[in-house]
Chain A
Amino acid sequence: MALSESEVRHVAMLARLALSETQVETLRVELNSILGHIDTIQQLDLADVPPTAHAIPVVNETRPDVPRPGLSREAALLNAPEKEAGAFLIPQMTGGGDES
């Protein structure tokens, strides 16, 4: 499976990465080289093999349901690049430029 330039742009949009023309072309070449190796996995007939998501099966282990302190508002906001009135500041969401 080879990635075209327009597919690279589509994946970059999905990944929320603004790439330059040069980056798109470099990534197209590099990703195709890596995919060329990865595609050896397609040789395997694994139709009857179940997938593994986690190597160590753990059944949900719940901790005791007791209240405990979480992050303070101050700590949660400590690293926010822009904040106002004890909240994270984001650009206006409605009427914005989301193509979807």
Chain B
Amino acid sequence: MSTPIDLSTLDAPRIRAAIAAGEFTAREAAQAGLERIEALDGAVHAFNQVTPDLAFAAADRIDALVAGGAGADELPPLAGVPVAFKDNMNLIGTNTTCSSRILENYQSVYDCTAVARMLDAGAVPLGKLNMDEFAFGSSTENSAFGPTHNPWDTDRVPGGSSGGSAAAVSAGMAAITLGSDTGGSIRQPGALCGVVAMKPTYGRVSRYGCVAFASSLDQIGPFSKTVEETALALNAICGKDSMDATSVTRPAEDFTEGLNDGVKGMRIAIVRDMLEMEGVAPEVKASTLAMAEKYAAMGAEVGEVDLPSAQYGLSAYYIIGPAEASSNLARFDGIRYGHRVKDAEDVIDLYMRSRAEGFGPESIRRIMLGTYALSAGYYDAYYGQAQKARTIIIRDFERAFADYDVLLTPTTPTTAFKIGEKSADPLSMYLSDIYTIPVNLAGICGLSIPVGLGADSGLPIGLQLMGTHFAESTILRAARALEADLKFDTTPPVVRNLGA
């Protein structure tokens, strides 16, 4: 074996280049990833399953290409890059548990399209990542298999619901991971763990094979330490899929193109009324304002807008999300798959007790809320009203994007909170997604980029960049300009202490 490979200092392009140049093999890179998981995941608990067999099989395919003479130009774009997937995405050879008891033993019988596309691009799968049960939550504390810990402070949450996906990248256990985002479940943990995290435009990425939460809001997206890796991951996963009727047919785009073109002349606005919302930590607000000044210094035209309807986003979301979820989760009936009670008297008894035993408290809460919102007599007041609120939120964004290319808010009102701090009060947990939810309701794209450590908390702060439908390349370019200027050190203490 050559010198140990430190994946936390290598990004995807460098891993691929090193494999192409014969500096190390894909198998050695996979081994390094697995060793990092072995060393750190006891403290972080990002992984539900680790998949060395799948990893080595994928790595060996890359090494065979190299042995056959494939050079840097011939290897697939993510050749040998260690990756991992949120545990709501199907991958044959793994269980897909959604971190729920009800699916604890569920074996994937087909591959999620986004997962398959990552693997087709040469990526090496190291495992499946912890999450809030069925993606219901903002802290990963709702996992039936125990919480994930934030690599910046293991007493704190990594955010959620894709907490495992964010923590794995932060701790250098994988270069790129995939998560899913229904109301902020990619961007919020990305912000709390100090990594780049993106929710693409609704329809960009096929949802086929990702266990549905709220079908009109869900979207798969990547986590990585650099903007360039996020662009490379989007190149792999975006595109029409005949298995998802809501995936959109678009001309193929290379999201790395123009990434370094800067923001000169770009129109960027702070969303002023959202920044003034109650409950925003002063350090978070100050950092957002400072980033706007940086953009102005880099030559962007910086202004301010208001999104007056966005304040109703949380209410609309906590009607639409649970309503769609209660409908999607009706499939867990103990018959075709999942937990089933042994001694059922009849089929209704079988349904009712299997579901009550299999679902955790937050899943039950959301199913109840959604069922109520859709029930006779309440449908118009809740679901109907929420769908109309969605329209006025979209109109607000349309007005803002008529004048600006990129909108800025904090990703989250505060930095990472303590494990247990909000779990007793569901509503206060829901409020941590106040900035991310409107993006899902409008179906636009949003990205969180780490912009520094809080002056008071000492923990990562995320800035949210929002772009209109299909404007991924614009917000990636703006994010890249800031990344190049800030040079934020994404290495968390849990990794620094490993070397000590």
Residues of A within 8 A of B (CB): 1, 3, 7-8, 11-12, 14-19, 23, 27, 30-31, 33-35, 37-42, 44, 46, 49-56, 58, 60-61, 63, 71, 75-76, 78-82, 88, 90-93, 96-99
Contacts and interface: CB of A to CB of B under 8 A. Distances in A.
Contact of A50 (B245, B330, B367, B391): B391
Interface string B321-352: 00000100010011111111000111111111
B352 A16 contact: yes
A3 B368 CA distance: 11
Contacts of B351: 16
B272 interface: no
11 contacts: A15-B355, A18-B352, A18-B356, A40-B312, A51-B391, A54-B202, A55-B394, A55-B444, A79-B338, A91-B344, A93-B347
A56 B201 CA distance: 9
A89 to B, nearest CB: 8
Interface string B96-115: 00000000011101100000
B461 interface: no
A93 B349 CA distance: 11
Given A34-B365, A44-B392, A56-B443, 19 more contacts: A11-B372, A12-B368, A16-B333, A37-B427, A38-B318, A38-B382, A39-B315, A42-B385, A52-B394, A53-B216, A54-B216, A55-B216, A56-B201, A56-B202, A76-B336, A79-B107, A79-B336, A96-B347, A97-B345
Contacts of B248: 56, 58
A34 to B, nearest CB: 6
B364 A27 contact: yes
Nearest to B330: A16
Contacts of B330: 16
Given A8-B368, A31-B365, A54-B246, A41 B385 contact: yes
A33 B469 contact: no
Please provide the 9 A-B residue pairs with the shortest distance between their CB atoms, ordered closest to farther: A55-B443, A51-B387, A96-B346, A79-B337, A81-B340, A18-B352, A46-B388, A63-B242, A41-B315
B338 A90 contact: no
B350 A15 contact: no
B16 interface: no
B442 A14 contact: no
Given A27-B364, A49-B391, A78 B318 contact: no
B326 A88 contact: no
A55 B442 contact: yes
Nearest to B245: A61
Nearest to B314: A37
B110 A71 contact: yes
B364 A23 contact: yes
Contact of A34 (B334, B359, B426): B426
A90 B335 contact: yes
Nearest to A39: B315
B339 to A, nearest CB: 7
A4 to B, nearest CB: 12
Interface residues of B, number: 72
Given A55-B216, A75-B109, A41 B391 contact: no
A11 B312 contact: no
B352 A52 contact: no
Nearest to B351: A16
A81 B334 contact: yes
Nearest to A19: B356
B498 interface: no
Contact of A15 (B109, B368, B430): B368
Contact of A40 (B315, B349, B391): B315
B335 A88 contact: yes
Nearest to B105: A79
Contact of B349 (A33, A76, A80, A97): A97
Given A46-B389, A79-B107, A93-B347, A27 B249 contact: no
A2 B426 CA distance: 17
Contact of A79 (B109, B249, B371, B372): B109
> Max chain A CB contacts within 10 Å: which of B339, B369, B378?
B369
Nearest to B373: A38
Interface in B287-342: 312, 314-316, 318-319, 326, 330, 333-340
> Max chain B CB contacts within 10 Å: which of A17, A78, A99?
A17
A58 B318 CA distance: 24
B465 interface: no
B355 A16 contact: yes
B391 A98 contact: no
Contacts of A58: 203, 245-246, 248
